[in-house]
């Protein structure tokens, strides 16, 4: 089977066989075999290619890294563990937003705490104008999943749906100006995800607790790791099934 992930990553970034061959110091035919015959490059070549296409080695070659090594790298991907979301310092959020250049992705039900930042919309608009891809996933306020989560948090069946609608109104100017793409999802939300390029805050969800009182993982993507990649793929799966909001 061909390596479709490698093929798609090279195409998406505008690289051909010759460019990859020059960067890795191999023959273009070797690069072709890496794709068409799913041959696994040497580690130094994997690192070079992963850096070129801004993907992890484990995404491009899932079976290339030994489980023991993956475990060690996964531990290194964890920058910090916070016992509660409200204990994440504001300067961490500000730094992550400020340094993001390519990818800002948010997966929440409402994320109403984000609206406490009065300059957030302006910041996201500037990021979009500078070339950042901004994707925001909010819960579908009419969905059973949102209603159930609202009841589980002990705030009443319709409270979370009202928060989602408030969040939609907050982010709508970004969608209207084409500075962000916003979709609504109907998934059971196990984690809220906030991605800023190669760093991510993952707010785990705990039954009976509001998200602000649940733990947060601060992750940093490493080439040979798959912890960050696991959550990135989860986001993409929800994104693919989500629909445009009914404003």
Which pLDDT value is given to residue 156?
A: 87
Tokens 């920058």 belong to 79
Q: Mean pLDDT in the chain?
A: 92
What φ, ψ does residue 117 adopt, rounded to 5°? Answer: -90, 105
Which pLDDT value is given to residue 229?
A: 87
Total length of the chain: 247
- DSSP bridge pairs for 85: none
Cα–Cα distance between 203 and 120 in angstroms, integer?
19
Tens digit of pLDDT for each residue in 68-111?
776 666 678 999 999 999 999 999 999 999 999 999 999 999 99
Which pLDDT value is given to residue 120?
A: 95
Helices (H), 113-158: 120-129, 144-152
Which pLDDT value is given to residue 59?
A: 83
DSSP classification of residue 40: P
Which pLDDT value is given to residue 241?
A: 96
What φ, ψ does residue 182 adopt, rounded to 5°? Answer: -120, 135
Tens digit of pLDDT for each residue in 141-194?
999 999 999 999 888 889 999 999 999 999 999 999 999 999 999 999 999 999
Which pLDDT value is given to residue 71?
A: 66
Tokens 């400020």 belong to 98
Tens digit of pLDDT for each residue in 194-232?
999 999 999 999 988 889 999 999 999 887 677 898 999
Mean pLDDT of 3-18: 92
Which pLDDT value is given to residue 56?
A: 82
pLDDT of 247 higher than 90: no
Which pLDDT value is given to residue 226?
A: 79
Mean pLDDT of 22-42: 93
Helices and strands: H and E segment counts in the chain? 11, 7
Q: 181: part of which helix (H) or strand (E)?
A: strand 181-185
Closest CA to 228 of 89, 127, 120, 78: 78
Residues 163, 165, 170, 174: what is their CA dihedral angle, to the nearest 10 degrees? Answer: 140
Q: 202: part of which helix (H) or strand (E)?
A: strand 199-204
Cα–Cα distance between 210 and 205 in angstroms, integer?
8
């Amino acid at each position: 089977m061909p390596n479709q992930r490698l093929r798609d990553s090279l195409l998406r970034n505008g690289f051909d066989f010759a460019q990859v061959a020059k960067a890795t110091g191999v023959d273009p035919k070797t690069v072709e075999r890496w794709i068409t015959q799913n041959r696994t490059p040497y580690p130094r070549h994997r690192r070079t290619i992963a850096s070129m296409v801004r993907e992890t080695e484990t995404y491009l070659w899932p079976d290339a890294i030994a489980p023991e090594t993956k475990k060690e790298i996964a531990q290194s991907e964890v920058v910090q563990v916070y016992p509660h979301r409200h204990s994440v310092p504001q300067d961490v959020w500000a730094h992550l937003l400020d340094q993001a250049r390519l990818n800002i992705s948010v997966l929440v039900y409402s994320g109403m705490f984000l609206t406490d930042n009065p300059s957030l919309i302006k910041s996201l608009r500037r990021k979009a104008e500078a070339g950042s891809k901004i994707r925001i996933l909010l819960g579908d306020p009419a969905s059973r999943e949102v209603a159930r989560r609202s009841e589980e948090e002990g705030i009443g069946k319709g409270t979370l749906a009202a928060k989602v609608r408030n969040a939609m109104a907050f982010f709508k100017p970004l969608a209207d100006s084409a500075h962000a793409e916003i979709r609504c999802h109907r998934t059971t939300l196990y984690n809220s995800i906030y991605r800023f390029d190669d760093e991510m805050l993952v707010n785990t969800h705990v039954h009976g607790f509001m998200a602000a009182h649940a733990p947060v993982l601060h992750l940093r993507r490493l080439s040979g790791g798959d912890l960050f990649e696991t959550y990135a793929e989860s986001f993409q799966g929800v994104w693919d099934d989500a629909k445009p909001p009914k404003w």
